[in-house]
Amino acid sequence: MAQVAAGKVDVSGVLVMDKPAGLTSHDVVARVRKILGVRQVGHFGTLDPFATGVLPVSAGKATRFAQFYLKSRKAYEGAVRFGFSTDTYDATGNPASDALPVTLEASCLEKHFHALTGRLLQAPPPYSAKRVAGVRAYKLARQHKPVKLEPVEVEIYALELLGIEGSEARFAVECSGGTYVRSLAHDLGQRLGCGAHLARLRRTAVAEFTLAQAVTLEELAGARQEGKLKEHLTPLEALLPDCPELLVRGREETSIRHGRTFELPQALRPGRGGLRRARFAASETSARAALDAGLEDHAPPATLLKILGADRRLIAVARHVSGAVYHPYLVLA
């Protein structure tokens, strides 16, 4: 975050917002835009209006990183209400089945939780943002038109039963991007033969962003007024933390800033020297250098490299082409 003019601040980074219930992800983006006073604001993955929790909101140059996060691993905690299903698969919808009395047993639920863990085909809810012949599914559903969505492959990494309270079962889940937790709740009801829907949902993590970092809209507004916005802003250099870093200088830096393809020096390629965390700093003669690339003997080349300039500011993200060749896929400066 750098001062660019009197009264104006160049904000580039990610804010981990604690989204309240009742607001859409777009609503939160609009409010953050107003608080920051900048137009370039986006988010890394939609969260349903009734859900709360982690919503990474990007500002400035960070908005260009959404492509790397939309399919990221996500974590949630919530509750499934058994006894009847709803047309939206959550508590905001209308009942879609007759109410049935239920008695939940932990051993039975854990068996079904285990069956829904791993890679599986999941049908998105009719009330979703998926498109059917170019039209959002939820628009067709609201018009009571038939909605048929093809199942998509998702992965449930972990699904844990946290407790049972009457007809509700509390759970924690870690899943791949694109997973609908509402569909997971609906499928559990189908398996038990009593119907079910998602009663509550709170997202606890998206990729490296967690609730521990999250701030409310009110807290963000206060931090902005007090000049403490930087305390809540994840800088560009900290994004994609598992991605190797390449430090460049001189002509190499200029070349990458112009989007030119480059090749890693021989000594820094996988299988050369067994370096796990080296640092490559290309000088104008390419003689000295550094690499924070996470390379190991016989390891495959990294798909992405974060490119840092001489001042250690992020200037680009490069994508592996072939062999030791990379192309600056996203150039920031």
Is residue 15 located within the same domain as residue 130? Answer: no
* Overall number of domains in the chain: 3
Q: Mean pLDDT check: name the lowest of 116-130, 165-179, 255-269.
A: 255-269
Cα separation, 106 vs 104, whole angstroms: 7
* 187 close to 116: Cβ distance less than 8 angstroms: yes
- The span from the CA of 141 to the CA of 123, in Å, is 15
Give percent of the chain with pLDDT exceeding 70. Answer: 84
User: Cα-flanking dihedrals φ and ψ of residue 68, to 5°?
Assistant: -90, -10
pTM: 0.85
Amino acid 268: pLDDT: 56
User: What is residue 269's predicted lDDT score, i.e. its pLDDT?
Assistant: 55
Which of 4, 69, 63, 74 minimizes the C-alpha distance to 29? 63
User: At 4, which helix (H) or strand (E)?
Assistant: strand 2-5
pLDDT at 283: 34
The CATH number given to whatever domain includes residue 186 is 3.30.2350.10
Q: Judge whether 329 and 317 are in contact, CB under 8 Å.
A: yes
> Which residues fall within 8 angstroms of residue 322, CB to CB, at 6 or more apart?
none
Mean pLDDT of 283-292: 34
Burial status of residue 303 (CB atoms within 10 A of its CB: 0-12, 13-18, 19 or more): exposed
Residues 202 and 90 in one domain: yes
Q: Which domain range does residue 44 map to?
A: 2-71+208-238
Amino acid letter, residue 156: I
Residue range 228-241: average pLDDT? Answer: 96
User: pLDDT tier at 144 (50, 70, 90 boundaries)?
Assistant: confident
Residue 282 has pLDDT above 90, yes or no: no
Decide if pLDDT at 289 tops 70.
no
Assess whether pLDDT exceeds 70 at residue 290: no
Residue 23, pLDDT above cutoff 60:
yes
Q: In terms of domains, do 79 and 151 share one?
A: yes
pLDDT band at 70; cut points 50, 70, 90: confident
Instruction: Decide: helix, strand or coil at residue 3.
Output: strand
- 201 in the same domain as 132: yes
| Same domain? 220 vs 307 | no
Helix axes 181-192, 106-115, angle to 10 degrees: 120
Claim to verify: residue 199 and residue 103 sit in the same structural domain: yes
Q: Mean pLDDT over residues 238-261, rounded?
A: 94
Q: Are residues 193 and 84 part of one domain?
A: yes
Helix-helix angle 25-36:217-225, to 10 degrees: 10
- Predicted confidence at residue 3, as pLDDT, reads 40
Residues annotated as catalytic are: 48
The answer on pLDDT for 302 being more than 90 is: no
Q: Are residue 200 and residue 81 in the same domain, yes or no?
A: yes
User: What are 181-209's pLDDT values in tens digits?
Assistant: 999 999 999 999 999 999 999 999 999 99
Would the pLDDT of 276 be above 60? no
At position 197, the amino acid (one-letter code) is H
Whole-angstrom distance, CA of residue 125 vs CA of residue 88: 7
pLDDT band at residue 265 using 50, 70 and 90 as cut-offs: confident
Residues 311 and 200 reside in one and the same domain: no
Average pLDDT, whole number, for the chain?
86
Kindly state the average pLDDT of the residues 211-231: 96
Domain boundary among 191, 221, 238: 238
Q: How many whole angstroms separate alpha carbon 128 and alpha carbon 155?
A: 19
Secondary structure letter of residue 20 according to DSSP = P
Is the model's pLDDT at 107 over the cut of 90? yes
274 and 200 in a common domain: no
Percent above pLDDT 90 for the chain: 73
Q: Is the distance from CB of 38 to CB of 5 less than 8 angstroms?
A: no
Same domain, 118 and 169: yes
Structure tokens at 180: 């609908």
Same domain, 89 and 195: yes
Cα–Cα distance measured from residue 51 to residue 57, given in angstroms and rounded to the nearest whole number? 16
pLDDT band for position 296 (cuts 50, 70, 90): very low
